[in-house]
Amino acid sequence: MRNFQPILKEIYASATNLKDKGTVASYIPELAIVDKQNFGIHLRTVDGHEYAIGDYNKPFSIQSISKVLSLTMATSLVGNKILKRVNVEPSGHPFNQLALLEIENGIPRNPFINAGAMVIADILVSRLQNPKEDFLNFVREITNDISIHFNESVAYSEKVTGFKNYAAANLLKSFGNLENDVDVVLDFYFHQCSIEMTCSQLSKAFYLFANKGKCLRNVLHLTESQVKRINALMLTCGFYDEAGEFAFEVGLPGKSGVGGGIVALLPHDFIITTWSPGLNINGNSKLGMQALEEFTTKTQLSIF
Ligand code: GLU
């Protein structure tokens, strides 16, 4: 059995020694009040071993990391039909950019930019009986943890400041790429982003992407080809404008969120989650990026 604890200790120490811990996201007021001294790392191997250090058991706002989970649920419900309404190309532009959406006639570049995630949210709203509750239960089930919840203050904070997200949703609607009302889709979207989870819960939730589509409990089974595609999207589109840099420096599929979380994984081997709320200029966790770069460099464990 490999022992990852010493390497986690090492990368934790060098990341926490960084003087510049990045800047906490402030465009969502509730996120601006999170202490940027928080830093946790959690690693789960496919064969069930866990290693962790720091604040790995503190819940934080998963934000855009939720987009992988909503895509997973939508894939399990409607399969490849999703691709008629969302593309699979990196955008090369900020996650909330509007110009590209207009030029490309309301078909978002990928499911991980905001507009793409709104189309996925729309699919779930159309398909589910109680959309928010059913999605939360889905996340709880794949994680095997009923304590996971929405943070209503974060969802509300985004609702009252989310002018650009309203603009994107209205643009989608004007192109006929939303079936439901803008307000209903955004209410779902703000809630999915407000879900709070710990590093250790996220490593569990993402287990299926490292385990050929089978999650911890047998509540969901994506096909190997569906998992391959979601992993490919994480690699090419999971880190805003820095997806190339993340592939170059870290070499793992993964997803980040403006709450400061990053989940990355090596198929058939492990899932590693970091959380530190201070972000770099591209919106990715500063300490998390550095720790993951050091992890794959030192262990030589990457997909390349
Ligand atoms: N809820 C955030 C927004 O829509 C998600 C941003 C993110 O984590 O990338 O702006």
Ligand 1 binding pocket includes 242 (Cβ within 6 Å): no
CATH number (domain holding residue 100)? 3.40.710.10
Supply the pTM of this predicted model. Answer: 0.97
Give the count of beta carbons closer than 10 Å to the beta carbon of residue 149: 14
Q: Residue 78: what are its φ and ψ, rounded to 5°?
A: -125, -5
Residue 128 lies in a domain: yes
pLDDT, averaged across the chain: 95
Tens-digit pLDDT profile for residues 1-59: 789 999 999 999 999 999 999 999 988 899 999 999 999 999 999 999 999 999 999 99
Q: Which residue has the tokens 């510049």?
A: 20
Does 196 map to a domain? yes
pLDDT for residue 118: 98
Interval 62-71: pLDDT, tens: 999 999 999 9
Confirm whether 276 is domain-assigned: yes
Report pLDDT for 217. Answer: 83
Query: Per the structure, how many domains does the chain have?
Result: 1
pLDDT at 240: 85
| CA nearest ligand 1 atom 4, residue | 114
Residue 258 beta carbon below 6 angstroms from any ligand 1 atom: yes
Region 269-289: what's the mean pLDDT?
Answer: 96
95 lines ligand 1 (CB under 6 A): yes
Kindly state the DSSP code that residue 240 receives in the 8-state scheme.
G
Residue 52 domain-assigned? yes
Which atom of ligand 1 is closest in space to residue 165's alpha carbon?
Answer: 4
In a domain, 304, yes or no: no
**Structure tokens of 133?**
């509750």
Whole domain around residue 258: which residue ranges? 5-299
Least confident of 163-167, 195-199, 238-242, 275-279: 238-242
Output DSSP code: residue 232. Answer: H
Domain annotation covers residue 18 = yes
What is the pLDDT averaged over residues 199-219?
Answer: 94
Chain centre to alpha carbon of residue 137: 17
**Residues annotated as catalytic (active site), given as ranges:** 64, 67, 189, 240, 258
**Rg of the chain taking only CA atoms, in angstroms:** 18
